[in-house]
Amino acid sequence: MMQPDKYAILLVEDDESLGYLLSEYLKMKNFLVTWVKSGLEAVAIIETDVFQLAILDVMMPEMDGYTLASKMKSQFPELPFLFLTARSLKIDVLKGFSLGAVDYLKKPIDEEELVVRINVLLDRLVPKENLSQESNTLLSIGGYKFDVTNQQLKYQDAVIKLTSREAELLQLLVENKNQLCSHKDILVRLWGKNDYFNRKSLNVFVSHLRKYLSYDSAIKLENIHRKGFILLVK
């Protein structure tokens, strides 16, 4: 079942003790935490699950945090990430920020400071509800309410926080509900380019939306082979 109004965090940390400690502490602070121990695991899970923030260790075997960040930035640019590392040289910090990190924390980690920083980042990066504006931005999709401005999809008492790309895609489909949206039109409008890699990303985001919308049987997000997608709302 959907979790009401919780942030989902991906923690990528190969150190067993630190990974367990941070995972449990963040869960105590009401975050939904998925802990993986390698960059390869992280790449695989990002393709199927949705997160509001990723926390990346830098020093990992097989794929270090910088390499993972580069892959994330190219394939999932809407997912913000921060680094946790024992590397404190200025050049390492600058490299982290040059890759697009929203923060760079040095080990040993103070758990309370980490939570404060996460909350500040998420407050800035993930819009909150604004009830005074809601009436102007609320779209109905069957039994759902889609808050465009705050990038939230609401079903009964549950709130799903959408990424920017998910919200853009859903808005495009809603604006053209019960009509075909071609692959080309979607990709050019949202990604700026119609190519193989962006089409793979599109399929991932469509699968996310399909999962979110599965609680109302009157809604179907259909794949029209080789043509595009249709959001069918009875």
Instruction: State whether 147 and 90 are in the same domain.
Output: no
User: Which residue type is seen at 49?
Assistant: D
Instruction: State whether 74 and 139 are in the same domain.
Output: no
Q: How many domains is the chain partitioned into structurally?
A: 2
Instruction: State whether 23 and 119 are in the same domain.
Output: yes
Q: What is the pLDDT of residues 146-187, one digit of tens each?
A: 988 888 999 988 899 998 889 999 999 998 889 999 998 898
Q: Which of 91, 83, 95 is nearest to 58 (CA)?
A: 83
Task: Give the whole-number percent of the chain exceeding pLDDT 70.
Answer: 91
Asked, for residue 84, whether it belongs to a domain, the answer is: yes
| Tally of CA atoms within 13 A in the half-sphere of 135 that contains its CB | 1
Q: What is the pLDDT of residues 29-76, one digit of tens each?
A: 989 899 999 988 998 888 777 788 999 998 888 888 889 998 888 888
Instruction: State whether 107 and 53 are in the same domain.
Output: yes
User: Which residue type is seen at 226?
Assistant: R
Last residue of a domain, one of 99, 125, 151: 125
Rounded Cα distance between 52 and 80, Å, is: 7
Instruction: State whether 185 and 199 are in the same domain.
Output: yes
Which two structure tokens, joined as six digits, stand for 85? 């590392």
- pLDDT attached to residue 3: 41
Phi-psi label, residue 136: left if phi above 0, alpha if psi -120 to 50, beta otherwise = alpha
Asked, for residue 62, whether it belongs to a domain, the answer is: yes
Per the DSSP assignment, residues forming a β-bridge with 204 are: none
Asked, for residue 1, whether it belongs to a domain, the answer is: no
Asked, for residue 68, whether it belongs to a domain, the answer is: yes
Residues 6+ apart with CB under 8 A from 176: 231
Element (H, E) at 189: helix 183-190
Largest CA distance in the chain: 58
pLDDT bin (cut points 50, 70, 90) of residue 5 is low
The CATH number for 107's domain is 3.40.50.2300
Q: Which of 14, 21, 73, 79 is nearest to 49 (CA)?
A: 79
Last residue of a domain, one of 96, 125, 154: 125
Instruction: State whether 92 and 184 are in the same domain.
Output: no
Instruction: State whether 121 and 135 are in the same domain.
Output: no
Start-to-end Cα distance in the chain: 23
Rounded Cα distance between 25 and 111, Å, is: 7
Exposed / middle / buried, residue 136 (Cβ in 10 Å: 0-12, 13-18, 19+): exposed
pLDDT above 90: residue 95? no
Instruction: State whether 69 and 137 are in the same domain.
Output: no
Instruction: State whether 73 and 31 are in the same domain.
Output: yes
Domain range spanning residue 91?
8-125
Element (H, E) at 232: strand 228-233
Q: Which of 104-108, 116-120, 229-233 has the highest mean pLDDT?
A: 229-233
Instruction: Give mean pLDDT, residues 121-132.
Output: 59
Asked, for residue 3, whether it belongs to a domain, the answer is: no
Rounded Cα distance between 83 and 57, Å, is: 6
The CATH number for 152's domain is 1.10.10.10
Rounded Cα distance between 185 and 192, Å, is: 10
Instruction: State whether 121 and 136 are in the same domain.
Output: no
Last residue of a domain, one of 106, 125, 144: 125
Asked, for residue 2, whether it belongs to a domain, the answer is: no
- pLDDT attached to residue 170: 95
